[in-house]
Amino acid sequence: MNRWKRVCLTSGIGIFIAAFLFPVWVSAVEKDETIHRLDEVVVSTSRTEISVSDAPQSVTVLSSEEIMASPHQRVEDIVRSMAGIYNFRHYSQQSNGIVSPLIIRGVGKNRVLVLVDGVPQNDNFNNSIAWVAWGHIPKETIERIEIVRGPTSALYGSEGLGGVIHIITKKPRTRRKTSIRADVGTADTYGGFGFHSQKIKDFGFMLAGGYEESDGFYMTDHPETYNIKRYRDVGKVFGKATYDLNASSDLSFTALYYDHETGKGRKFFYDELELDQYWLNYSYEGEHFGLKGLVYLNRADKTAYQDTSKDFYTSLLRKEEAPSKTWGADFQGTIPFQCGANLVLGAAFKESTWDYDNEYVESTRDAGAEGKQRFISPFANMDLRFFDNSLIVNLGARYDWIETSDGANWDSQAGAGRPAYDNEYGTDTEGSFSPKLGIAYHLDDKTTLRASGGKGFRAPSLFELYKVHVRGGGTYYREANPDLKPEEIWSYDVGAERFLLDNLLGKLTFYQSFAEDYIGDRLIGTGTISGGKTRYDYKLDNISEVDIYGIETELQWYPASELTFFANYTYNISEVDKDENNADLEGNYLPNNPRHNLHFGGRYQNPKIVDVSLTANYYADIYYDNENTLKAGDYWTVDVAVSRRFFDRLTVYVNAENIFDEEYAISKTQGRADTIAPGAIVTGGVKFEF
């Protein structure tokens, strides 16, 4: 089926479903003045505050209460039950640090932009956010999490092909809040955490942090004698200071430090990371003008220890060191108009530098890579309102100028069946223009129609451009490719939401995307290394065209003030439409994209009696390689969180993940054993507030 026939077919399917269900929705309710209307605001769809109901893009906002009620500590796990999202990695696998763990709307790995208070966490060389398992921001400090589905390059530039996840931290308030908690759990897991927030007149400060250690888990079906548990030791500190300059403007300065050591399943196969970040925010909200400014610095010092298969993984082969630095600035002005329109004009700058060095234990061998990447990006966005705010139109555009320079890679000694090399690369520049259009129309008090479309792009990272990647004792060998072009995606979606009852909200969205120059592993051959093992040779390359389409459905029911139920289902197809270099891949599905993705659960909140949260997750039809030779069966997981408050200050809680001990594959790789989820995990603890 050619591309445009598929456009017509899938568009027709979406329109047919919407047309079929809409009369059902209309007839399911009668007019009522007491509609349960969500009052959250979101800033990630237009760079200004707008109510969720007015947002032209598909968006979900998780409140602080919902975040704290989750049985999980890390953002990647807290958001994994949202519509359109798939988390293909368990947090016990957090040391696998070249891949961001979340996929939105089937766009593939490393294509979700992560922001913290506007600071990009994707570092353009190795996605350090993956290394820290999204646990570097303490849960207690998060005000809300905004999830925007669809390309966000018109607002934020590179990375956000599938969407953006924006973590917004709290501001200290006048009422002091102080708490400490202690955890204990499966796999000899122990942790202690503290939180303090207070505001005195115009000055506020917040401090949070803690330490956790765990003996970890075996994550393979049949452990060998050299296998050990995937352990982890994690420490973090987060601090924030705020100052109100006057009634209209304020400053805030935030700093964090994160440190971990995480084992990958063998004694001499583990990672260490030190991460420190700093950012300064300025905000002015006047009657006729608004101004926001951001300056930030992200630094990471990563070390990966690699063993050797020659002695059955009982000694250290080399130490990979990768210090990096990303700094940037982002400024925007907002002009509100009397008609309700808002115009945002701004510009952003970002620079990433990366140095990678291989230090061999028993050799003078010298290997490494390096590079630099800069972005200069003006942008504009406008919200327009018509017909007494019934129609909201959003227009946006951004131009990103990208310069990649100082690239090099080298290896003074042949290895894994490959010759020595010493390469230097010149300066390369690219430009990308990213427009978007979104419309939200309130048909009546209970019904909102939405449509949006736009372009997203992702510049190839320094890691992809320059690093030769070897793993599995040389069985996995991936060439770098300095000629990679930026990925581009054009997407649109159409949807409707309606209050079927005063407290029952239904949503339906059809989406479709066309991607060009997708970057992925290409198997280019096999060979043999010492010990007779097979070496699989890969090369990062641009896949010509990828087609993605799917349907998201959601239900949210609020039968009582203490009780909430939800359900969402995503049907997604992500397939290679055209590959000029390898026609055999055409028609294949992208790896790590389930065709069926279902979540449902509920939450009961009554601190005097009990707080309970339950979530069930179902996934089916997942391939793990471009060739579609490695496939997983379907599987369920169920997570539960239970807590009870005593004496208004003491809370006792138990969190259980995968309570039915379901065994399922997290990843499958040619020539290596499957990585298996660790089964049921239970954590309990106490929290004291004073």
Residue 107 has pLDDT above 80, yes or no: yes
Q: How confident is the model at residue 220 (pLDDT cuts 50, 70, 90)?
A: confident
Q: What mean pLDDT comes out for the span 373-377?
A: 97
Task: Supply the DSSP string of 613-644, one letter for each residue.
Answer: EEEEEEEE-EE-STTS--EE--EEEEEEEEEE
Report yes or no: 525 and 417 within 8 Å, Cβ to Cβ. no
Report yes or no: 528 and 492 within 8 Å, Cβ to Cβ. no
Q: How many CA atoms lie within 13 A of 490 on its CB side?
A: 6
Percent of the chain clearing pLDDT 70 (strictly above): 91
Residue 31 has pLDDT above 70, yes or no: no
Nearest to 202 by CA among 172, 173, 240, 244: 244
Nearest to 12 by CA among 22, 2, 20: 20
Structure tokens at 47: 């760079």
Report yes or no: 626 and 522 within 8 Å, Cβ to Cβ. yes
Burial class of residue 431 in the structure, from the number of CB atoms within 10 Å of its CB (0-12 exposed, 13-18 middle, 19+ buried): exposed
pLDDT one-digit tens code per residue, 124-155? 555 656 667 678 999 999 999 999 999 999 99
pLDDT for the residue 109: 80
Q: What mean pLDDT comes out for the span 348-367?
A: 92
**Contact residues for 454 (Cβ-Cβ < 8 A; gap 6+):** 150, 151, 153, 154, 396, 434, 435, 436, 437, 438, 490, 491, 492
Report yes or no: 221 and 673 within 8 Å, Cβ to Cβ. yes
Average pLDDT in the chain:
88
pLDDT for the residue 1: 44
Lowest mean pLDDT among 108-117, 505-514, 591-600, 610-619: 108-117
Helices then strands, counting H and E runs in the chain, come out as 6, 38
pLDDT for the residue 603: 94
d(CA 435, CA 629): 38
Dihedral Cα 52, 56, 62, 65, nearest 10 deg: 0
Report yes or no: 103 and 595 within 8 Å, Cβ to Cβ. no
Residue 278 has pLDDT above 90, yes or no: yes
Interior/surface letters 61-100, b for 16+ CB within 10 angstroms, e for the rest: bbebebbbbbbbbbbbbbbbbbbbbbbbbbbbbbbbbbbb
Percent of the chain clearing pLDDT 90 (strictly above): 66
Q: How confident is the model at residue 7 (pLDDT cuts 50, 70, 90)?
A: very low
pLDDT for the residue 20: 35
Q: Name residue, tokens 């998201």.
A: 552
pLDDT for the residue 540: 85
pLDDT one-digit tens code per residue, 590-604? 988 999 999 999 999
Q: What mean pLDDT comes out for the span 177-205?
A: 96
pLDDT for the residue 135: 86
**Contact residues for 263 (Cβ-Cβ < 8 A; gap 6+):** 95, 216, 228, 229, 230, 231, 232, 269, 270
Identify which has the larger pLDDT, 16 or 292.
Answer: 292
Structure tokens at 28: 């399911």
pTM above 0.85, yes or no: yes
Q: What mean pLDDT comes out for the span 217-237?
A: 91
Interior/surface letters 353-364, b for 16+ CB within 10 angstroms, e for the rest: bbbbbbebeeee
pLDDT for the residue 451: 97
Residue 95 has pLDDT above 90, yes or no: no
pLDDT one-digit tens code per residue, 432-475? 999 999 999 999 999 999 999 999 999 998 988 998 887 766 77
Identify which has the larger pLDDT, 170 or 7.
Answer: 170
Q: Angle CA(639)–CA(641)–CA(647) in degrees, nearest 5?
A: 175
pLDDT one-digit tens code per residue, 37-53? 456 889 999 999 999 99
Report yes or no: 97 and 136 within 8 Å, Cβ to Cβ. no
**Positive/negative CA dihedral, 47, 53, 54, 59:** positive
d(CA 175, CA 207): 15
Report yes or no: 436 and 453 within 8 Å, Cβ to Cβ. yes
Dihedral Cα 417, 224, 622, 600, nearest 10 deg: -150
Q: Name residue, tokens 């065709």.
A: 595
Q: How far is residue 337 CA from its own chain's centroid?
A: 35
Q: What mean pLDDT comes out for the span 653-666?
A: 92
Matching CATH number, 3-689, of 3.40.50.300, 3.30.1120.10, 3.40.50.1100, 2.40.170.20: 2.40.170.20
pLDDT for the residue 674: 82
pLDDT for the residue 458: 93
pLDDT for the residue 5: 40
Three-state secondary structure call for residue 445: coil
pLDDT for the residue 447: 96
pLDDT for the residue 669: 80
pLDDT one-digit tens code per residue, 530-559? 667 787 888 888 888 999 999 999 999 999
Q: In the 8-state DSSP scheme, what is residue 228?
A: -
Residues in a beta bridge with 308:
none
Residue 168 CB neighbours (<10 A): 19
pLDDT for the residue 312: 84
Q: What mean pLDDT comes out for the span 638-666?
A: 92
Structure tokens at 621: 């039809």
Q: How confident is the model at residue 33 (pLDDT cuts 50, 70, 90)?
A: very low
Q: Which sequence spans correspond to the domains of the chain?
A: 3-689
Residues in a beta bridge with 621:
none
Phi, psi of 571 (to 5 degrees): -105, 125
Nearest to 572 by CA among 555, 552, 545, 588: 552
Nearest to 332 by CA among 279, 287, 283: 283
Report yes or no: 133 and 76 within 8 Å, Cβ to Cβ. yes
Residue 27 has pLDDT above 50, yes or no: no
Task: Supply the DSSP string of 246-277, one letter for each residue.
Answer: SSSEEEEEEEEEEEEEEEEEETTEEEEEEEEE
